[in-house]
Amino acid sequence: MKIIKVKNVEESAQKALEIYQNVLNNGARVLGLATGSTPIPLYQKFADSSLDFSNLISINLDEYLGLDGQDKQSYRYFMTENLFQYKPFKYSYVPDGKSGNYEVATKNYDQIIDDNPIDLQLLGIGRNGHIGFNEPGTSFKSTTHIVDLTQSTIDANARFFEKKSDVPTKAISMGIASVMSAKKILLIATGESKAEAIAAMVNGPVTESVPASILQQHSDVTIIIDEAAASKL
Ligand code: GLP
């Protein structure tokens, strides 16, 4: 793992932007994207940059079950609001949270990933070490699947909803094997609330109880962390 320590959120976004500029100059065509508050400063930098995504494909990690793309809390809506309206891609895939048949929806998403191998997968990290919506205990062999969100994740994400009872309890997520299939991975973590998860990911054993710990076994992972997120390393 290559760890880049930065002072603050602004610097984390700047460093990440530089990594994207480099990867795109080297011919990347498929970007794995993430939601959550962590990547927003980077998406703002994308929006303000001269980068052109119109010939690229994006594949998002996950989506809440039961929300369609028009729903303001859906991850499809989040992506449109924060990035796609400013920087459209040739095609942007987000898992279908409203499919009537989740077996088909998960298989289709795996096929999309197989057909479009991800050049650079962007990740945040949950306070409990989850990546995408792969909660502790998820098999390292998992591909796209339906997930029961843990109380910790529901509590953490409740800030985006009017009330906690509005937070969906299930999601559709790329699996850990799908994430690991990306050629490069960039994980960004900022803030004290991520310090424990970062310490477990970097220094702890590789265990399914800490999904992000599997990244120790990927050959091309970069972690950008600010001082607060690095405080327990
Ligand atoms: C959600 C997303 C993750 C994200 C995590 C952390 O659970 N599914 O992809 O990494 O939240 O979010 P934040 O960046 O807001 O802390």
Distance between CA atoms of residues 31 and 48, nearest Å: 18
pTM beyond 0.90: the answer is yes
Is residue 231 assigned to a domain? Answer: no
Q: What is the pLDDT of residues 137-172, one digit of tens each?
A: 999 999 999 999 999 889 988 998 999 999 999 999
Catalytic, out of 62, 63, 119, 226: 62
Is residue 100 assigned to a domain? Answer: yes
Measured from the CB, is residue 118 less than 6 Å from ligand 1?
no
Distance between CA atoms of residues 166 and 170, nearest Å: 12
Catalytic, out of 60, 128, 134, 157: 128
Report pLDDT for 46: 98
Domain span including residue 65: 2-226
Domain of residue 206, CATH code: 3.40.50.1360
Q: Are strands 91-93 and 30-33 parallel, antiparallel or unpaired?
A: unpaired
Q: What are the structure tokens assigned to 133, written together?
A: 């919506």
As for how many domains the chain has, the answer is: 1
pLDDT bracket for residue 231 (50, 70, 90): very high
Going by alpha carbons, the residue nearest to atom 13 of ligand 1 is 36
Distance between CA atoms of residues 104 and 83, nearest Å: 28
* Burial of 217 (C-beta count, 10 Å sphere; 0-12/13-18/19+): exposed
Least Cα distance to 197 among 223, 178, 158, 220 occurs for 223
Q: What is the pLDDT of residues 93-138, one digit of tens each?
A: 999 999 989 999 999 999 999 999 999 999 999 999 999 999 999 9
Q: What is the pLDDT of residues 54-88, one digit of tens each?
A: 999 999 999 999 999 999 999 999 999 999 999 99
Is residue 233 assigned to a domain? Answer: no
Q: What is the pLDDT of residues 171-226, one digit of tens each?
A: 999 999 999 999 999 999 999 999 999 999 999 999 999 999 999 999 999 999 99
